[in-house]
């Protein structure tokens, strides 16, 4: 029973990633694409969680945590780049 639910959930999550990808490719602006990437990351977190349930294992919990952190970092990096043109600013006293 749980397996079928997980299976269906995974299909839906895949479809939503697909839709995210459509946004990434289509755009039209760069922030749209960055947000779409962030969405895909979040969708992936859910997918990993569902997979963990179906596989009945705790080995992928770190992956969920890491994905959370990294998709945040990625989004911040892209945003900063779009805003300022650079990711890491130079020290001013130099």
Partner 1 sequence: MSWLNFAIFLPILYAVFIPFFYKKVSSVHTGWFVLPIPLVLFIYLTTSIADIANGERFMHTVSWIPSLGINFTTHLDGLSLILALLITGVGTLVIAYSIFYLSMKREALHNFYIYLLLFMGAMLGVVLSDNLMVLYLFWELTSVSSFLLIAFWYQRDKSRYGAQKSMLITVTGGISMLAGFIMLQSMTGSWSVREIIGQAGTLSDSSLFIPAMLLILLGAFTKSAQFPFHIWLPDAMEAPTPVSAYLHSATMVKAGIYLVARFTPVFGGEATWFWIVSMVGLITLFWGSYTAVRQTDLKALLAYSTISQLGMIMSMLGIGSAALYFDAGSDAFKYSSLAVLAALFHLINHSTFKGALFMVVGIVDHETGTRDIRRLGGLMTIMPITFTFAAIGSFAMAGLPPFNGFLSKEMFFSAVLTASDLGIFHMQTVGLMFPIIAWVASVLTFVYCMILVFRTFTGNYNPEKLEKSAHEAPIGMLIPPGILVSFVVVIFFFPQTMADYILNPGVQAVLPLENANYYTEIKAWHGWEPELWMTIAVVILGSLLFVFLRSWQGVYSLFPREWSFNTVYNAILVGSEKSSEKLTGKYMTGSLRHYLLYIFSFLILAVGTVIFATNGFVIDTSNDAPVNIYELILISIIAIAAVGIIFAKSRLTAIILNGVLGYMVAIFFVIFRAPDLALTQLVIETVSAALFLLCFFFLPEWKKENVTRKVKGLNLVISLGVGTIVTLVMLSIQGNRLFDSISSYFEDAYKLAGGKNIVNAILADFRAFDTMLEILVLAIAGLGVYTLIKLKSSEGEDRRESK
Residue 17 or 93: which CB sits closer to partner 1? 17
Distance CA 55, CA 42 (A): 20
Q: Look at residues 8, 40, 11 and name the one whose alpha carbon lies nearest to residue 24.
A: 40
Phi, psi of 88 (to 5 degrees): -110, 120
Residue 5 or 81: which CB sits closer to partner 1? 81
By the rule CB under 8 A, 62 interacts with partner 1: yes
First to last CA, the chain: 63
Interaction site with partner 1 (CB under 8 A): 7, 10-11, 13-15, 17-18, 21, 24-25, 27, 30, 33-34, 36-37, 40-41, 44, 47-48, 51, 55, 57, 59-60, 62-63, 66-67, 70, 73-74, 77-78, 81, 85-88
């Amino acid at each position: 029973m749980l397996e079928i639910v997980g299976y269906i959930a995974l299909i839906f999550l895949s479809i939503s990633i697909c839709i995210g990808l459509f946004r990434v490719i289509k755009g039209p602006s760069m922030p749209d694409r960055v947000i779409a990437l962030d969405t895909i990351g979040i969708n992936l977190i859910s997918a990993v969680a569902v997979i963990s349930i179906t596989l009945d294992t705790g080995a992928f919990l770190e992956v969920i945590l890491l994905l959370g952190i990294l998709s945040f970092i990625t989004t911040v990096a892209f945003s900063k780049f779009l805003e300022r043109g650079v990711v890491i600013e130079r020290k001013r006293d130099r």
